[in-house]
A and B are shown apart, each in its own frame.
Chain A
């Protein structure tokens, strides 16, 4: 199994730099209470992902702090994944900024392939990626993460263990507790682990240890799981002026819901969920997922559900841009309605029969069983048969 790993370091920071030219040359911290991502300069000051923001600002007081905009980062990375699918039919995402491509069955030379992909990615998106190619996902990922952006590392088949041996155990996907114990035992590199007998190592660390030992020795049979790309219908609206009131936002969303349903991309399919997004004033994104109780074909029904959901959870800041995405498109073309629900054919027949009976006999003689005192110990008190006029 030959796998290529594309790694775009500090993906969220790169996305923010492209979006906001005013922070392009500044130190950047992204996060709320904790650091979600940070620029290279901030890293050099000791900031790490997951650090408390107050501590990070203390270490790097000149940095600009930005709120995380996860939907936007995810959309940009989805674009990258779509692009990568032009290079390999099997692409798996591994968090923001990292993706695996299967090279099995492709008649490509690893080195030119990697160089070409890095250059194409930079031309298309402006992201500078590092690449690693190896006999498994773990080796490829470590190779990519240890290269500088713009460069590739090819690990030839059979040389995985020797490549990994001098590298620190920090690359292993293990728990903090296990990492701490590895340090106590003086196991600092993956070679230290690979040299130990599997049985002894596994008896110390259990199943996690067994997996860790295999990875440290370059043994990685974990299959590449290609992403499932869901077909959706998206409609966006750039507002002429910032929408401040809920009414203005609702008008825009209503237009988008109807436009999405009228889109030829829907091809008559019903939608199970709508996702409403808004680009907010002063940055950031608001997102609201509205799952429908059942797949809906009628934009009026969808709009009713979306409107109520927005009224309950409106955007907290003025809105600059709106987007509606229909997801969960299903192939349903009809549904079974209840016998006496709505104005169905049967219901109209009942009405017509009642009308004719009344004309002939003065009354319809149509009744309905109703519960009167269902809890009563006296049986005849529990229910009654009452005359029922379906036209009222």
Chain B
């Protein structure tokens, strides 16, 4: 057999990427929210401005990693704000805090 000329030096070893040293993308950011007695957001503060919620477009809940010490339990809202923007946010049902996060 004749060695392929390009393989004369052997295959170069490539170090695998260490994802444990990376930082997650799309991390949730804290958000100040006003809500009503039903727990539905009525206004959010973006860049210090209060924006009333025009409509709740969609809402969904995720419950995951319940076997861990810190389970994930969230209610997501997709909101239409009074200036026409849409934002996606969630309420952490474990801590009760509000977070902004694209889904």
Residues of A within 8 A of B (CB): 247, 250-251, 254, 300, 303-304, 307, 367-370, 372, 377-389, 392
Contacts and interface: CB of A to CB of B under 8 A. Distances in A.
Nearest to B103: A379
B19 A386 contact: yes
Given A379-B26, A379-B101, A380-B101, A386 B5 contact: no
B17 A379 contact: no
A377 B62 contact: yes
Contact of A384 (B25, B65, B102): B25
16 contacts: A247-B1, A254-B2, A300-B6, A368-B17, A369-B25, A372-B24, A377-B64, A379-B26, A380-B24, A380-B28, A380-B101, A382-B25, A385-B24, A386-B19, A387-B21, A388-B17
Contacts of A370: 17, 19, 22
Interface in B8-43: 14-15, 17-19, 21-28
Contact of B26 (A254, A380, A386, A388): A380
B78 to A, nearest CB: 13
A384 B22 contact: yes
Contact of B2 (A250, A379, A380, A381): A250
B72 interface: yes
B4 interface: yes
Q: Tell me if B's interface is mostly helix, strand, loop or mixed.
A: loop
Most chain B CB within a 10 A radius of its CB, from A372, A384, A385, A392: A384
Interface of B: 1-2, 4-6, 14-15, 17-19, 21-28, 62, 64-65, 72, 101-103
Contacts of A382: 25-26
Given A250-B2, A307-B2, A378 B18 contact: no
A372 to B, nearest CB: 6
A381 B2 CA distance: 47
B72 A384 contact: no
The 9 closest A-B pairs by CB, nearest first: A386-B22, A384-B22, A383-B25, A380-B24, A392-B15, A379-B26, A377-B62, A300-B5, A380-B27
Given A377-B64, A384-B22, A304 B4 contact: yes
A19 to B, nearest CB: 32
Contacts of A247: 1
Contacts of B23: 384-385
Nearest to A307: B2
A386 B2 contact: no
B19 to A, nearest CB: 5
